[in-house]
Structures are given as C-alpha cells and as structure tokens.
Chain A
Amino acid sequence: MRLEVDITGKAFRNAAGGTQDVLAPIKFALQSGEVGVLIGPSGCGKSTMLRILLGLDRDFHGTIARPPEARIGMVFQEPRLLPWRSVEQNVRLAAPGISDAKLSELFRILELEAHRSHFPGELSLGLARRVALARAFAVEPDLLVLDEPLASLDDALAGRLRDEIATLVASRPVMTLLVTHSIDDAIRLGDRLFFLSPRPARIVAEVPIGIPRDTRGEAEIAAIKADLARRTQGDRAERDVS
C-alpha cells in the first residue's frame, strides 16, 4: 500500500474577507512499513495537512491518493475519547472486529488492564493518551496517523510510550505518519523526516534515516542528531548568503 500526498495549496478565508495561505505545495509519499515524521514549528499547518489527508477537509487544491480500503488509525492531539463509554467500549466501538485475546494483549502492552471499565473522565492525560493509542492500534490500521501523541507527558512516560509505539509499528506492515516537535522522537521512531517551513508550510528538507529502527542505539541516535544539527545550520548559512 502507498500513500501519495500532492497538495498544491490550501487557503483559509479570514474574517476580513481576504485569504490566507496555510499550505504551500507539498508532495511526498509513504510506503507500507515506513514511518514518516513531520517536523515543523507550531501553527505551520501540520494539523491542516493531516485533516486533508484523512479526508476531513476536502476544500484544498491537489490530490491525495490512498487505497480506499485502507483502514485508518488515528491518535489526535487531544485523546478524543467518548466520555460516556468505558475504556474498553471506546476501543471496541472503533474496532468491533477485535478478538478478546488481541484486546487483552494490547491492554497489557499499554498497561491499561486495570482501567478497562473506567470512564475517560476518571483517567489522567497519560492514561487517556494510551487509550487513544490502543484504539488506533486495535483497528489494525493500514495507515496510522499520530498527531503529537507524546506531547505534555513527562520524559519517562513519553519514553516508554515511544518504545511501545515502536513495538506496535514493527509488529505489522503499516504506513505511519508522525507529527512531532521533538527531534528526539523523530529520530528514534522515523524512517524519513520531513522538515516543514513556517506557514504556509512546505517541505524544506527530507532526511532519510538509513539505520533500521531496532539497531539504533544511543550512539547512533546522537550521531544522527549531530548530523541533523550541522545540516540545518548549513541550510541557514546558505540562506543567509543568498
């Protein structure tokens, strides 16, 4: 399966009647088994782009090609759980076909077993985020979209959840798109990094990471990070010259 994004532009009409460009032309593709990471400053139009490629916003120029039968799993920035349904029901409603064994396995990995019958209002943000992750994985997605799934969690928890995401992504062939601010998350999870410019967003750099995810140790990650830092500074220097 393959996701092809070819957005030629997207503008919002503002209150004064003028238009405001949110997205510049953006073009990229994602294969099954690949994790693409979108990195960009706040408000650059990442969420708008996600809404477009999920089919929630059809008012744009360009085309999105994704197989119509592709199942989508999504982790929104806010967990977006149904407050009036229990944790287990929230997951089952999105994935009615899931077997009891699979569900138990998922809850075990995400350490949610004790919270099955709780309502989302009784959960901390970290737990609610994990439920949202469980829901996204329960549908056995072909396309997994993670919109800052680790934001505003403490480092230890974010690290554990990141490892869990890596485990789950590795367990089946899925196209994954991760939106994040954290270079660290991007390097640890991504296969290809897309750096976006401020609004209107365009891709300023596409950086593939050659080392397979499971063999990336701390040393390799530090090396990639240093390389990236050099590269972005180089970009800036080039721009200063021109």
Chain B
Amino acid sequence: MLRLLSFSLFLATWWIAALFVGGAKLPSPPAVLNVIIAEASSGALFLHLGATLARVALAFVLAMSLGSAIGYLMGRVKLADRLGDPWLILLLNLPALVVIVLAYIWAGLTEAAAIAAIAINKLPTAIVTLREGTRALDRSLDEMASVFAMPRWRAFRHVVLPQLAPYIAASARSGLSLVWKIVLVAELLGRPNGVGFEIGVAFQLFDTPRLLAYSLTFAAVVLVIETVLVQPFEARATRWRPRAA
C-alpha cells in the first residue's frame, strides 16, 4: 500500500514537471507509455531487454561464483590473502570504463569481451564481501564439526554455507545493481543490441521518450527481479533468526 502511494507520488511529480518543462525535454507519462507499447508490439523491446538480461545473467553468475570462491580462499588461507590483496585493491579502484574499453580493444567487439568486462567489474566486490564473511566464520562451530567427524562437504553445506549466506545475499544485491549499471555502458560502447545500445541511439537522436521508455522498462525489470528473486533468498537464508514480534 505504502509502495503504491510512493509510486503514484512519483508519477504525479513527473507529470507536473513534464507540464512545466515541455514534452521535448521531459515527455509526460502517457507519451512514454505509448512508446513502450509501440516498441513492445514490434518486438524490439523484448529483443533488447532479452539481450541485456542474458548478459547480466552470464556476467553475474560468472562474477559471483568466481568471486565467492576466491573470497572464501582468501578468507581461509593467509598466503592467498597476501598474494591476492594488491590485485584486489587494483581491481576495486579500476574505473569500469577502462576495463570495458580495454576488453574491447584486446578481445574485439565480441560478446565474450562484453561479458568478461562486466564480470571483472563486479568480481572484486564479491571477493571482498565473501572474504569478510569467511573471516567472520565461527571457529567454535568448525571445531564442533571436526570433533563430530563431519565429512567436509556436509560441514561446508550445513556449518559454513549458512554463515556465508547473508554475505552472499549482500554481495548478490550490491553486485546486481553494479552489473545493471555497467552492462548498459558496455552495450553502448560495443554491442549492436541491448538496452544500452538503444539508449545510445536515443541519445544521438535526442529522442527522450524512447530513452525513458527503455530506461523505465529496464528499471521495472530490475525491481521485479529484486523482489522475486533476491529478497526471498535473503529471507530464506535468515529465517532461523528470531524475529522481532
């Protein structure tokens, strides 16, 4: 209910602002909706959204799995931490644009280059979060598992993983938002389709309704994925915590 209210307030502000500024700079909500409907009925909207989502999914999975594994290793093994730390700091502070441009130069304007560039941008934050999570693991539970001679995999699944789950969820949440932002830049610079590409075209034509149509649909998809996938996972991972009444 509150969400709905907040959303209608946003729509109203937009509409009033559009009336003052004029349709060329800020088209009114119905104008944008018309473009969305037109793009959707031609199929272009779904094509571009689909291309972007596929890139997001691939880059996200790649960065999360690789980042979690490296982060866990760095949290557990001191040597790995010492070796990896300078690279981590470098990666953390490397501007996304540099990675994308270099990837395109070295690997050509290919799908692989785009996905790798996006994944590399997300990788260091996943590593840092999981490393912190691994450092915070409860040693006394490790000892319990060892005394009761739990096999490695069972101990990892039931003792370690539940402790890492909040960190994985946090990393997924922040990582997803990072990937959403970077994927459009990568598409703008070197892909012939996707939401980023369309926004680039709209920018060159100063086609604000089109620009807003694509950005807002994209934002809506992000919102849906957040509520349908990320939040339930978080809720499930923390369901054992006693809740405030």
Chain A residues engaging chain B, CB cutoff 8 angstroms: 51, 54-56, 71-74, 76, 78, 80, 82-85, 89, 93-94, 96, 119, 121-122, 135, 139
Contacts and interface: CB of A to CB of B under 8 A. Distances in A.
B150 interface: yes
26 contacts: A54-B147, A55-B146, A55-B147, A71-B149, A72-B149, A73-B148, A74-B147, A74-B148, A78-B140, A80-B140, A80-B141, A80-B143, A80-B144, A82-B158, A82-B159, A83-B240, A85-B240, A93-B154, A93-B158, A94-B150, A96-B154, A121-B240, A121-B241, A122-B242, A135-B148, A139-B148
B240 A74 contact: no
Interface in B106-159: 140-141, 143-144, 146-150, 154, 158-159
A96 B145 CA distance: 13
Interface of A is mostly: loop
Nearest to A56: B143
Given A82-B158, A82-B162, A93-B158, A76 B242 contact: no
Contact of B240 (A71, A76, A78, A84): A84
Contact of B147 (A56, A78, A89): A56
Contacts of A122: 242
Nearest to A72: B147
B149 A74 contact: no
Interface of B: 140-141, 143-144, 146-150, 154, 158-159, 162, 240-242
Contacts of A85: 158, 162, 240
Contact of A93 (B140, B146, B150, B240): B150
A158 B25 CA distance: 77
A1 to B, nearest CB: 16
A76 B140 contact: yes
A-B pairs, top 7 by smallest CB distance, nearest first, are A84-B162, A84-B240, A94-B148, A80-B144, A121-B242, A74-B147, A119-B240
A74 B159 CA distance: 17
Contacts of A83: 240-241
Contacts of A76: 140, 144
A82 B142 CA distance: 11
B144 A74 contact: yes
Interface of B is mostly: helix
A145 to B, nearest CB: 8
B244 to A, nearest CB: 13
Contacts of A139: 148
Contacts of B242: 119, 121-122
Contacts of B159: 82
A150 B150 CA distance: 25
A80 B141 CA distance: 6
Contacts of B140: 76, 78, 80
A73 to B, nearest CB: 8
A76 B142 CA distance: 13
A44 to B, nearest CB: 20
Given A56-B146, A74-B148, A94-B148, 15 more contacts: A54-B147, A55-B147, A56-B147, A80-B140, A80-B144, A82-B141, A83-B240, A83-B241, A84-B162, A89-B158, A93-B154, A93-B158, A121-B241, A121-B242, A135-B148
A150 to B, nearest CB: 19
A31 B103 CA distance: 68
Nearest to B142: A56
Contacts of A80: 140-141, 143-144
Contacts of B144: 74, 76, 80
Contacts of B146: 55-56
Nearest to B155: A93
Contacts of B147: 54-56, 72, 74
A192 B241 CA distance: 42
A78 to B, nearest CB: 7
B86 to A, nearest CB: 28
A84 B159 CA distance: 9
B57 to A, nearest CB: 28
Contacts of A119: 240, 242
A71 B147 CA distance: 9
A135 B154 CA distance: 16
Nearest to B138: A80
